[in-house]
């Protein structure tokens, strides 16, 4: 098969070209299947900005060999886990997420894969828990998924937030809430930090390259001042902290120390959400939204 030289090699194009090599059985799996299911965080780029290969799940009886941009899985996929979507055969969201988690280089990458699939409500923790105890119970690597189930979060908005939360908890601090809105005592929305320990009064923000200048930086500074005005203490994780987590954990420790010294009359945030707020913390809550409400109450996630 031939493709005109002028065709842009987008994620979708990469998936289509790989799927064109499928024999009469099997399907696209892993990150590529999740991307085809409109998982927006699955961009096919590795940790060093190198393209990840598209994996075809073919089972052990095949003649197709791995090549540049293409990987082959010899695992036998049950027929019920392969579906046709927009002309391509792909493995189900649950199989694809579990495949990514089982084959991930480490636990952090495995958690990230699930949480970015949950971002678009492709899978939930409950569905994955049931899946690993039935369809996947003897598959290689399923033990890792079982161990990670208690750590999974359904409301992370970016891969970096997953990293920051796991680092936070690894430092011995209480598990923070992911993207929990902050309200003042009158019930007015102040903002939504990436992480929040609502009881201690400590919040966390991740500053990537987009946060370093311009309107985004101005908004971040304004938001930070608003949080501090309520008596909250903040800590920021930067891209450089991923290589060495100790400086970030030291800042978290200092934030908790400052928060503990705050007198009660300076702690002016609401310990929950007001009645008018529509909760969207879980996959189940988001799936239950009407199309109108989904566009209305989830628009802030896309903007972030």
* Averaged pLDDT, groups of 10, the chain, 304 residues long: 88 95 92 97 87 90 78 89 96 96 96 98 97 80 94 96 97 97 95 96 84 64 91 94 94 97 94 94 97 89 63
pLDDT at residue 136, rounded to an integer:
74
Contact 163, 185 (CB under 8 A): no
Nearest-5° Cα angle at 12, 11 to 14? 65
User: 112: closest CA among 175, 46, 159, 51?
Assistant: 159
Q: And the tokens for 197?
A: 């320990």
Q: Please, what is the end-to-end C-alpha distance for the chain in angstroms?
A: 40
Condensed to tens digits (0 to 9), the pLDDT of residues 75-117 reads 888 889 999 999 999 999 999 999 999 999 999 999 999 999 9
**Can you tell me the distance from the alpha carbon of 163 to that of 161, in angstroms, rounded to the nearest whole number?**
5
pLDDT at residue 283, rounded to an integer:
98
Can you give the residue ranges of every domain in the chain? 11-151, 159-266
User: 99: closest CA among 145, 61, 68, 152?
Assistant: 145
Contact 174, 197 (CB under 8 A): yes
pLDDT at residue 215, rounded to an integer:
65
User: 173: closest CA among 267, 266, 250, 282?
Assistant: 250
pLDDT at residue 254, rounded to an integer:
97
Q: And the tokens for 169?
A: 């908890």
Residue 12 DSSP SS3: helix
Q: And the tokens for 131?
A: 């899946």
- 15: phi then psi, degrees, rounded to nearest 5: -65, -45
Q: And the tokens for 105?
A: 């280089």
**Can you tell me the distance from the alpha carbon of 107 to that of 104, in angstroms, rounded to the nearest whole number?**
7
**Out of 1.10.260, 3.30.420, 2.60.40, 3.40.960, which CATH number does the structure's domain 159-266 have?**
3.40.960
Contact 178, 156 (CB under 8 A): yes
- 270: phi then psi, degrees, rounded to nearest 5: -75, 135
pLDDT at residue 246, rounded to an integer:
96
pLDDT at residue 210, rounded to an integer:
54
């Amino acid at each position: 098969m031939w493709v005109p030289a002028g065709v842009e090699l987008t994620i979708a194009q990469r998936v289509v070209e790989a799927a064109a090599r499928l024999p009469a059985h099997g399907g696209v799996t892993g990150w590529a299947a999740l991307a085809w299911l409109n998982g927006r965080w699955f961009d096919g780029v590795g940790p060093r900005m190198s393209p990840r290969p598209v994996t075809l799940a073919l089972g052990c009886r095949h003649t197709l060999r791995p090549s540049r941009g293409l990987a082959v899985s010899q695992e036998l996929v049950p027929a019920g886990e392969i579906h046709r979507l927009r002309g391509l055969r792909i493995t189900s969201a649950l199989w694809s997420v579990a495949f990514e988690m089982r084959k991930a280089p480490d636990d952090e990458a495995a958690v990230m894969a699930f949480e970015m699939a949950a971002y678009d409500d492709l899978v939930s923790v409950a569905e994955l828990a049931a899946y690993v105890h039935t369809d996947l119970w003897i598959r290689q690597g399923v033990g890792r998924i079982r161990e990670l189930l208690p750590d999974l979060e359904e409301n992370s908005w970016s891969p970096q937030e997953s990293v920051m939360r796991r680092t936070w908890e690894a430092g011995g601090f209480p598990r923070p809430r992911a993207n929990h809105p902050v309200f003042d005592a009158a019930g007015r929305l102040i903002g939504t930090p990436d992480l929040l320990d609502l009881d201690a009064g400590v919040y966390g923000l991740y500053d990537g390259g987009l946060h370093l200048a311009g309107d985004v930086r101005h908004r971040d500074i304004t938001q930070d001042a608003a949080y501090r005005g309520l008596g909250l203490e903040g800590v920021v994780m930067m891209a450089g902290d991923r290589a060495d987590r100790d400086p970030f954990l030291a800042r978290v420790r200092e934030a908790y120390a400052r928060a503990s010294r705050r007198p009660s009359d300076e702690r002016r945030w609401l310990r929950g959400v007001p009645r008018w707020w529509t909760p969207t913390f879980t996959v189940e809550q988001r799936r239950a939204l009407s199309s109108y409400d989904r566009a209305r109450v989830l628009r802030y996630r896309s903007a972030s």
